[in-house]
Amino acid sequence: MSKQVKEWMTRDYRTFFEGVDDALVVSLRGVEANDNNRLRNGLREAGVRVTVVRNSLARKAFSGGPLEGLASILEGPNALAYGAESVVDVARELVKWAKQVENLELKGAILEGEIYEGRAGVEALSKMPTREEAIAQIITLILSPASNLVAQITGPGVAVAGVLKTIKEKLEEGEAIEKVA
């Protein structure tokens, strides 16, 4: 491959992966063609894109950017998976597909500059909450004390209201109310 073509491909990688801060690296070596097509179509439906990259050119293109940490993982034939809402969603999809597609190798991922190496790293990443899930958990934690306080404040009032309602119903029916000691 000529130097011009390599420079052109490196420039294309920079343009293509501009705005991609988190990604997952997989190896499709040994995956049968039908499984590969099924995998790619399934990932596309989930909003995940898969791009096969040349390692040396990708390392050069990612240098100084958010994907630079992937350089240590880019060995052998690789494809980058990215997109969806976050790389956590991508990891969840690929972990699910790795159980169905023989020879699909999960090599690692990068999330906010942190590297998750190997299958174990990708599986750990897939179990993390997404940004939206984390925000929901934080809001629940923040609101929990307030809702407990409201329940404690209104609890005795609800009990008194229940007693008064019972007394009212008995008086309307003409029953006598007994004194409770």
The residue-averaged pLDDT of 113-138 equals 83
| Triad 76, 82, 85: Cα angle to 5° | 155
pTM value is: 0.67
Any bridge partners for residue 78, and if so which? 53
Locus of tokens 């499709």: 28
Measured between alpha carbons, how far is 112 from 91 in angstroms, rounded to an integer? 14
Per-residue pLDDT tens for 147-162? 777 777 777 877 788 8
Provide the mean pLDDT of the chain. Answer: 85
Q: What CATH fold (topology level) applies to the domain 3-128?
A: Alpha-Beta Plaits (3.30.70)
The residue-averaged pLDDT of 21-31 equals 88
Q: Indicate whether 53 pLDDT > 80.
A: yes
Measured between alpha carbons, how far is 14 from 111 in angstroms, rounded to an integer? 18
Per-residue pLDDT tens for 72-87? 888 888 899 988 788 8
Q: What residue spans define the domains of the chain?
A: 3-128, 130-181
Percent of the chain with pLDDT over 70: 98
The residue-averaged pLDDT of 126-151 equals 78
Per-residue pLDDT tens for 35-49? 888 888 988 998 998
> Residue 75's pLDDT is what?
87
Q: Indicate whether 181 pLDDT > 60.
A: no
The residue-averaged pLDDT of 61-78 equals 87
Q: Indicate whether 180 pLDDT > 70.
A: no
CA end-to-end span of the chain: 98
Mean pLDDT is lowest, of 21-25, 82-86, 95-99, 153-157, for: 153-157
> Residue 130's pLDDT is what?
74
> Residue 172's pLDDT is what?
83
